[in-house]
């Protein structure tokens, strides 16, 4: 029964739970068997908590089915940047290698309140810094389409777990593309929602709007279900939005065709690998062939590099300064560089970056008033060798920092617009390519509806798969 369950979509599994055709314990057994068989080959879920999951499942099963929440006992994975009470939660850092928290983060509390059962923690780079999932605690996570390649990051473990059938739904987070890049590299779906749509924290800077928590799944409908379970208002998060009145799964089911989309290969700010360019151009042509008006244009993102680099550094300095002062020798070089850059900023530097971000948002919001979607590559390269710490050049262009190659994602981060990565094709080497769909301000419902239609036109990836050397 394990293989049969693993291959089903999350929405179908949830319906079987509601119909009392299967139990949460059946699903936990299936995932435990799958994880023991698959994870040694990819290292995506280094921390499992199946005993805790069974305890939660039994407590949930003691309730009437109608009181078990919208997930009704469906297992979920939590990225190892978020705490789960009673479960080793490391942040991918030697500093917290043995930390076991007493309290779960808000997003975990919301998922469990919605009937989600946490079965494990997915691997992440140290403090989510960098888009290649490796750390000194657990090592490297490998891409299942080619285990010599990177899974991207920082939600790389979550994406690999989904692609290989070790999860139906997974939690991730995104600052500069950390939900979208690994979705692209692994042939699954990842969404960066609007800031405040999913409660984050507790954290040092609860007013932060650059980093958000969000859902990952194998397809758009499953992702919409996960977002429904995550999008709960909490007064403990000061920018938390109200719980939506209409479910995102219902919105996604409409599959509304976008009438007019803007397509840009590079947003005017980044090189793009030819294999990615080719796959995304073919995807745009498919949309046009299906009656969508596709225009090649984009908002002005010329200030995105300066603004994001400054605001990111400021965020690292404000959030991790205590660790820098007390545990500097245990931090990886990229984290130290980001913190020190932040500490050396002047008030004028930060003020300028905030003004630039404001102008970027105004440009993007005005631009989106005239189109249903902005479409770009989700990331600019196919999966690269896992032993490369980051992408240092693309299409003949050398990058100055370890995050420059993420510009096509972090430019959208600056706008606070919701964005989703959906698979759009494969390279000649058989590696997935993702298409980034950007929606209107706080427009998750319409974005999911359009994304489901796009997914139908472009086709889903054949996941779950077994890891391939």
The set of catalytic residues is: 79, 154, 178
For residue 402 the two structure tokens come to 């370890």
HSE at residue 433, side-chain half, CA atoms within 13 A, is: 26
State how far the Cα of 365 lies from the Cα of 380, in Å rounded to an integer: 24
Helix (H) or strand (E) holding 220: helix 220-230
Query: With contact defined as beta carbons under 8 Å apart, do 156 and 77 qualify?
Result: no
CB 27 within 8 A of CB 74: yes
What DSSP string runs through 373-384?
EEEEESSSS---
| Cα separation, 194 vs 122, whole angstroms | 23
Count of positions (residues) in the chain: 469
Which residues make Cβ contacts (< 8 Å) with residue 165, sequence separation at least 6? Answer: 6, 7, 34, 38, 463, 464, 465
Nearest to 313 by CA among 299, 324, 302: 324
Distance between CA atoms of residues 321 and 308, nearest Å? 19
- Long-range CB contacts for residues 19-22, cutoff 8 Å, separation at least 24: 20/65
Q: Which residue intervals of 87-214 are DSSP H helices?
A: 106-113, 156-163, 180-186
Alpha helix (H) ranges present in 256-302? 274-289
Give dist(CA 145, CA 159) in Å, integer.
Answer: 12
Q: Is the dihedral of CA 321, 124, 176, 381 positive or negative?
A: positive
Q: Return the structure tokens found at 420.
A: 């989703």
Beta bridge partners of 140: 134
Question: Strands 75-79 and 47-48, how do they pair?
Answer: unpaired
């Amino acid at each position: 029964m394990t293989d049969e369950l693993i291959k089903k979509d999350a929405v179908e599994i949830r319906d079987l739970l509601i119909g009392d055709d299967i139990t949460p314990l059946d699903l936990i057994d299936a995932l435990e068997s799958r994880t023991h068989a698959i994870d040694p080959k990819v290292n995506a879920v280094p921390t499992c908590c199946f005993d805790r999951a069974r305890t939660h499942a039994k407590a949930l099963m003691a309730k009437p089915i109608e009181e078990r929440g919208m997930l009704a006992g469906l297992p979920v994975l939590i990225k190892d940047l978020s705490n789960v009470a009673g479960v080793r939660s490391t942040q991918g850092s030697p500093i917290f290698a043995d930390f076991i928290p007493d309290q779960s983060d808000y997003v975990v509390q919301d998922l469990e309140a919605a009937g989600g059962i946490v079965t494990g923690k997915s691997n992440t780079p140290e403090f989510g810094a960098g888009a290649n999932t490796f750390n000194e605690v657990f090592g490297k996570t490998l891409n299942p389409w080619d285990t010599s390649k990177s899974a991207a990051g920082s939600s790389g473990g979550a994406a690999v777990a989904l692609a290989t059938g070790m999860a139906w739904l997974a939690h991730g987070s995104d600052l500069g593309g950390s939900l979208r890049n690994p979705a692209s590299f692994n042939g699954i779906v990842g969404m960066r929602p609007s800031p405040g749509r999913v409660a984050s924290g507790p954290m040092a800077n609860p007013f932060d709007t650059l980093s958000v928590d969000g859902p990952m799944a194998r397809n758009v409908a499953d992702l919409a279900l996960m977002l429904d379970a995550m999008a709960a208002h909490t007064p403990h998060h000061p920018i938390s939005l109200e719980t939506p009145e209409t479910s995102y799964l219902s919105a996604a089911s409409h599959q509304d065709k976008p009438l007019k989309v803007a397509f840009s290969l590079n947003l005017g700010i980044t090189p793009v690998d030819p294999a990615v360019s080719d796959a995304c151009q073919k995807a745009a042509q498919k949309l046009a062939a299906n009656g969508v008006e596709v225009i090649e244009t984009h908002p002005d993102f010329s200030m995105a590099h300066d603004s994001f680099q400054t605001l990111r550094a400021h965020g690292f300095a404000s959030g991790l300064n205590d660790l820098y002062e007390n545990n500097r020798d245990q931090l990886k070089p990229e984290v130290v560089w980001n913190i020190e850059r932040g500490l050396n900023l002047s008030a004028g530097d930060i003020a300028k970056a905030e003004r630039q971000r404001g102008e970027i948002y105004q440009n993007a919001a005005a631009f989106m008033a005239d189109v249903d979607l902005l479409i770009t590559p989700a990331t600019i390269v196919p999966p690269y060798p896992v032993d490369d710490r980051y992408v240092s050049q693309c299409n003949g262009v050398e990058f100055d920092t370890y995050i420059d190659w993420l510009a096509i994602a972090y430019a959208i981060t600056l706008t606070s617009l919701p964005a989703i990565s959906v698979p759009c094709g494969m390279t000649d080497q058989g590696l997935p390519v993702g298409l980034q769909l950007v929606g209107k301000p706080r427009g998750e419902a319409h974005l999911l509806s359009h994304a489901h239609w796009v997914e139908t036109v472009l086709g889903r990836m054949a996941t779950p798969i077994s890891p391939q050397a």
